[in-house]
Structure 1
């Protein structure tokens, strides 16, 4: 991707932020950026000072310079005496590291343009924030992306103030984080604390926050060990960039804020991929594909929460978080990144392969026409913290992309709950977008999505790319056993996906079981029931066939359709259900029509 292309998107986002800036000098928040959606002032929006500075540097347009200085002055005025900023309207202070990152980087560009007063105040604010972070940042203070970011924010603070203690702490934190990169290349630490160690893996935060800031730290300090570790991790994360540029964090420990282009409040993957693009030409390809995908989520200069933000609600106005964070990400990619002369295909652009990641119990499959994620990730700290129990698991297909269709199946929280109320809208009575097996007994809900001990197996096949199976038990949210054992089997062919289910239970329990297969529904998508076994799915002048192949049951359409929406990943689905099940084994398939008729 050319520099011009990245700048075009940066200018678009910055122009919107400029329009939202308070320019009345009599206003107590003069210089701040308003969030119309939240009807508040977010101090984290002060991070836009850096993308505005970069926009000025490359365009020479004074409006960006004026906006950046006004915003930086306001941000400095909001700092508490101890050195931190509250993440308003709440009281979380850990996000100070993101504001320091941006303020320090902006200072290095704007220092010759600042008034004598601002020059002094910005430097004092940088020192106070850096000193405070030095005193508090650790693995137990916050999720691991905060330690990663602080390694970079302190390295930038060193460039401003030349205090060697900042480099010492930056190195300590960077090395702490890279030690938590497991053998497969995933950073562990986006979940709860167990035995004084941060647990949980979330690909969205790894890629959108931790790896980008670690890359920045490694370039500033010339820390080759950290750089090598980040390169290894990025090569792993490349597998989860889908052919359309979307990022698959469907299974992660913090997937409750997954947007398909990344995570709502995180920076973005361009920072990670572009800073090290000279090391692997595939990184530039991934960065380009994701930015093209991200652009589809922008309306009126604001970044939405996913593909259907405005389809679901044409009057939707998003919070400004994804707009200023993605702008910040692009600014770092522009200033510190590399644009290689050539790009190479990423894994998802190649066909007919599969890869199993044992540390997360996830399988990726790429056939000739589609790509899928099967997850049995067993991070189940939900016994103590409910946030981490609702990520899809149990051997479900949590993401399915099909050529000429786009995302065909996806996933969401099993029970939608706004764990971060500032960032997650309140919604009621939503049903999960995840394909699943449901069972109801005496008002209690059981599903494979609560099976946190699913056993994944891979089986070779002469005709299929691979067969993947998962054995488990339908469980309640409190992990109570339903007495129903299941085996989910997926046969991945070039143009056909076969799903088989084997159940082991008393015969009378079958009547309480339903198989739910939500299909991503765009405005142009049509669902036509051909008979009680077959459904035609039409989109983009092409047809896919959903068909019950064996077993006794009946296909029904659209039951509870209005509930198949979720703010994250901001997608609407249409439910296809197999109910009236009378046999312990059923099989059904999704087939591209030319392979069916």
Structure 2
């Protein structure tokens, strides 16, 4: 067993080239890009495989990560059986075939008598809903590998497929809604893989898909992740498997309903190809690449539906470019652009790598030739308000932003979901390595899913916010789960306003109300805060900015801070209006301003003010390009 070395040559951004190519050539180019990326990911995974036949775990993939567990053998890593099989099919390289056969043999040996696979290591017990993922891998790969297997292996594969299908029929629906369409596809593939499938498999599959579509809300968002909406899982798993189910059944209605869901959810794909799950119920695992760590990935979702809307093809290409340019470390997929600066995430866990390999393999298997993907122009100057979740996403000429007042805290709590009307993602054209100027994270870092989240020291949220401390109790706008959002337009601006109260982690109100009004212009944003408190109250406005390695922050005036990257172009954060005695600083220790999800470091800029008792106290700030063209 060895860990992977860097293999990234030839995976550069293709978007500029694609814009110049005819549609058919563009379709061939993206398929070639998928091929290169599939081999990169598979090579990294093969490099971790135990190949010693004397080992009891021969065939398993050894996770390079040491946090939170030291080199675990993830049962779900056997999802790589399918991408290995597709890599072999496309290259005829026996390394991939052999890796798939060995990995499947190991996985089958870990199957429970009831047909399930447990996700927890080292006993392979615990959560078993992911049996659907392993079944997809085995059943999907079997038709390609059947003739390469010994009779004993064929019997073992078919027995494992039948047992897993029986388990899904018995146990599903289970868990969050992503398991519904995943289980349905697993059963359909199982029925195609073996002789004389059980009729109950197909009946259960149809029922799971019907149950999924019943969970679409009035805004066209799929509900059911953590008792709410999670953009990441919806986009990177549920919608993709609905599309695949429709394709496998040649059901035009299901495919079109999946496309309708994708049109709504694709609003949160940013210009740089990142997926904004800053506000979702399970955003504690948010990654810019694909929106969540452990779902298959957005690539098959867009690829399978690219023939239905040119915007899907454009988003697919952007997301693929983001992965290849910003999310790979030695061939493994990372949680974010700054993850490799932290020992807690270096080297990365295998989960995102084998999951993305599966998504890309499915795109190559089911999408090629379905459509000639022509370049599409991503639209500007639009906004969408989703009242059901209290979230607004918008695009102007040179920026894109998400503002969230989502209050779905029943499952995971206000420390994991609520954002109180804050900007949770802000992209500015030309800012830093990816364009992200501000981002967000959970307000209280907690390992909600132990095996997927590293141990960390005390962390500060990356989300912009107002905060105060009263009698030793911390209150912030981030804990407001009942904020009231409205969206209007003014000349040249989209205006997003949220009203609420500063609250503690338990939901107790501080007695301080706030109204936060964002105005988004072509290339800058202003914030107007108005507070009302019965007593003089010291309040801090914390504005963390994405801290790329070459970011230079300097205070150029008492009420002005410049942010630049060593060239002539820079941006400025300024206090435009505030009560007498306020202060602006940018020298607070930035070390705690980090989160493994979305894998970003922050640099805080802080405004401190004191309210006037019983009277509205207003502060206005601005952030955008600095008109002074000199280095900070």
After TM superposition, the score normalised by the length of structure 2 is 0.89
How far apart, CA to CA, are the structure 2 residues paired with 1:186 and 1:123?
Answer: 37
1:34-433 to 2 correspondence within 5 Å?
34-37=62-65, 38-89=70-121, 91-138=126-173, 141-161=174-194, 162-163=196-197, 164-191=199-226, 199-261=227-289, 262-295=291-324, 296-313=326-343, 316-338=346-368, 340-345=371-376, 349-381=378-410, 385-387=411-413, 389-405=415-431, 406-433=435-462
How far apart, CA to CA, are the structure 2 residues paired with 1:594 and 1:313?
Answer: 39
How far apart, CA to CA, are the structure 2 residues paired with 1:215 and 1:187?
Answer: 14
Q: Please point out which of 462, 472, 491 is paired with 1:462.
A: 491
How far apart, CA to CA, are the structure 2 residues paired with 1:596 and 1:535?
Answer: 14
Q: Please point out which of 522, 541, 547 is paired with 1:521.
A: 547
CA contact (8 A) 2:400 2:426 kept: yes
How far apart, CA to CA, are the structure 2 residues paired with 1:460 and 1:40?
Answer: 52
**Where does residue 531 of structure 2 map in the other structure?**
503
How far apart, CA to CA, are the structure 1 residues paired with 2:559 and 2:535?
Answer: 22
SS at match of 2:313: helix
Structure 1: state its 5+ residue gaps.
192-198
Deviations 1:11-57 (A, max 9, x none): 00100111100000000001111112141211110100000000000
**Where does residue 44 of structure 2 map in the other structure?**
16
How far apart, CA to CA, are the structure 1 residues paired with 2:511 and 2:498?
Answer: 17
- 1:444 lines up with 2:444 in the alignment: no
How far apart, CA to CA, are the structure 2 residues paired with 1:596 and 1:452?
Answer: 41
Q: Please point out which of 16, 28, 35 is paired with 1:7.
A: 35
C-alpha displacement of 1:134: 0.3
How far apart, CA to CA, are the structure 1 residues paired with 2:64 and 2:381?
Answer: 46
How far apart, CA to CA, are the structure 2 residues paired with 1:388 and 1:98?
Answer: 30
C-alpha displacement of 1:482: 0.6
Deviations 1:259-292 (A, max 9, x none): 1112111110111111111111221211111111
Deviations 1:462-518 (A, max 9, x none): 132x11110101111111011101000011111221111001112412x2x100000
CA contact (8 A) 2:313 2:376 kept: no
Task: Calculate the aligned-residue CA RMSD, in Å.
Answer: 1.6
CA contact (8 A) 2:344 2:454 kept: no
**Where does residue 196 of structure 1 map in the other structure?**
none
SS at match of 1:342: coil
SS at match of 1:419: coil
Q: 1:156 to 1:121 in 2, by over 3 A?
A: same
**Where does residue 570 of structure 1 map in the other structure?**
599
C-alpha displacement of 1:536: 0.5
SS at match of 1:252: coil
How far apart, CA to CA, are the structure 2 residues paired with 1:549 and 1:170?
Answer: 58
**Where does residue 194 of structure 1 map in the other structure?**
none
Structure 2: state its 5+ residue gaps.
1-28
How far apart, CA to CA, are the structure 1 residues paired with 2:417 and 2:373?
Answer: 38
CA contact (8 A) 1:104 1:157 kept: yes
CA contact (8 A) 1:392 1:412 kept: no
Q: 1:171 to 1:540 in 2, by over 3 A?
A: farther
How far apart, CA to CA, are the structure 2 residues paired with 1:233 and 1:595?
Answer: 45
Q: 1:315 to 1:142 in 2, by over 3 A?
A: closer
SS at match of 1:446: strand
After TM superposition, the score normalised by the length of structure 1 is 0.95
Report the more deviating stretch, 321-330 or 177-186. 177-186
How far apart, CA to CA, are the structure 2 residues paired with 1:39 and 1:523?
Answer: 29
SS at match of 2:314: helix
CA contact (8 A) 2:40 2:331 kept: yes
Q: 1:107 to 1:418 in 2, by over 3 A?
A: same
How far apart, CA to CA, are the structure 2 residues paired with 1:581 and 1:233?
Answer: 46
Q: 1:249 to 1:446 in 2, by over 3 A?
A: same
CA contact (8 A) 1:387 1:419 kept: no
SS at match of 1:69: helix
Q: 1:183 to 1:544 in 2, by over 3 A?
A: same
How far apart, CA to CA, are the structure 2 residues paired with 1:15 and 1:304?
Answer: 16
How far apart, CA to CA, are the structure 2 residues paired with 1:315 and 1:378?
Answer: 30
Q: Please point out which of 484, 491, 494 is paired with 2:512.
A: 484
- 1:547 lines up with 2:574 in the alignment: yes
Deviations 1:165-215 (A, max 9, x none): 211111110111011112322111001xxxxxxx21000000111111111
Deviations 1:293-322 (A, max 9, x none): 112211111111111111344981111001
Number of positions where the alignment pairs a residue of Structure 1 with one of Structure 2: 580
SS at match of 1:489: strand
How far apart, CA to CA, are the structure 1 residues paired with 2:553 and 2:610?
Answer: 22
Report the more deviating stretch, 225-234 or 128-137. 225-234
SS at match of 1:41: coil
